[in-house]
């Protein structure tokens, strides 16, 4: 298994990707013996129309699954101003995921749409709530399509913030991200991780093999580590 894809929803890609799903999906993947590593979370879109009881029950299931060795990350969770429930509810669910991530010692995968100022504020708020020494886990902003300034702000906020790029990204931002903070992903697209990597490496003017070697190191440094079998 050559893990290079930081975030993917397609179970057939389990050999190369961190498979990201809802608590129900990840529970099913594990029960049916999918041979891979997983990321589990309640997506911000799923907060729309959900009752408090339902959200609490699903977050509790995230917490249970997050403790399993096959689960290597928590999320995706985050904030989406265009889709999903009330922003206060999204923020509450995000905070629950941050707590789970810290408790189980696994990185957090973020979905952020038109909420970059809020995610930066949450990041700073969490720094205060947890104190830097307690907030240890990496945060991975997945499917980043923002600009150079947004990328710079997020990367500067914490030494453990990473940015994951998919097939579509802002090339100027891609060039500006420090090499040791960059990841790549296929998410739910049909392209392969090698195609994404080639595109990002070309945008940065880097050799793709060297770029992929760095991505593997970054996944490891971010705490995405496969369990020993």
Distance CA 219, CA 1 (A): 14
Least distance (Å) from Zn ion to the CB of residue 187?
Answer: 5
Note the residues at the interface with Zn ion (CB under 5 A): 187
Distance CA 42, CA 211 (A): 31
Q: Measured from the CB atom, is 18 or 126 closer to Zn ion?
A: 18
Least distance (Å) from Zn ion to the CB of residue 7?
Answer: 6
Helices (H) and strands (E) in the chain, counts: 8, 8
Least distance (Å) from Zn ion to the CB of residue 22?
Answer: 11
Least distance (Å) from Zn ion to the CB of residue 210?
Answer: 27
Q: Measured from the CB atom, is 114 or 156 closer to Zn ion?
A: 114
Q: Measured from the CB atom, is 58 or 135 closer to Zn ion?
A: 58
Least distance (Å) from Zn ion to the CB of residue 140?
Answer: 11
Distance CA 188, CA 179 (A): 24
**Tokens 């608590």, residue located:** 23
Q: Measured from the CB atom, is 46 or 187 closer to Zn ion?
A: 187
CB 197 within 8 A of CB 212: yes
Q: For Zn ion, which residue has the nearest CB?
A: 187
Query: Which long-range contacts does 165-168 make (Cβ < 8 Å, 24+ apart)?
Result: 165/196, 165/200, 166/142, 166/196, 167/191, 167/195, 167/196, 167/199
Q: Measured from the CB atom, is 39 or 135 closer to Zn ion?
A: 39
Q: Are strands 108-113 and 71-80 parallel, antiparallel or unpaired?
A: parallel
């Amino acid at each position: 298994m050559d893990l290079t894809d930081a975030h993917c929803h397609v179970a057939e890609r389990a050999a190369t990707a961190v498979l990201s799903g809802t608590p129900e999906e990840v529970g099913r993947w594990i029960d049916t013996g999918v041979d891979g590593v997983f990321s589990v979370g309640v997506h911000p879109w799923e907060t729309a129309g959900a009752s408090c009881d339902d959200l609490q029950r699903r977050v509790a299931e995230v917490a249970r699954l997050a403790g399993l060795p096959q689960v290597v990350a928590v999320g995706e969770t985050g904030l989406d101003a265009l889709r999903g429930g009330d922003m206060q509810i999204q923020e509450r669910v995000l905070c629950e995921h941050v707590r789970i991530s810290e408790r189980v010692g696994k990185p957090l995968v973020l979905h952020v749409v038109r909420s970059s100022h809020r995610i930066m504020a949450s990041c700073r708020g969490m720094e205060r709530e947890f104190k830097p020494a307690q907030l240890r886990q990496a945060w991975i902003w997945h499917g980043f399509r923002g600009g150079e300034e947004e990328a710079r702000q997020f990367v500067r906020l914490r030494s453990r913030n990473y940015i994951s790029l998919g097939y579509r990204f802002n090339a100027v931002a891609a060039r500006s991200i420090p090499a040791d903070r960059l990841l790549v992903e296929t998410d739910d697209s049909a392209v392969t991780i090698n195609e994404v990597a080639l595109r990002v490496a070309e945008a940065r003017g880097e050799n793709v093999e060297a770029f992929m070697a760095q991505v593997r190191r970054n996944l490891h440094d971010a705490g995405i580590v496969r369990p020993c079998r």
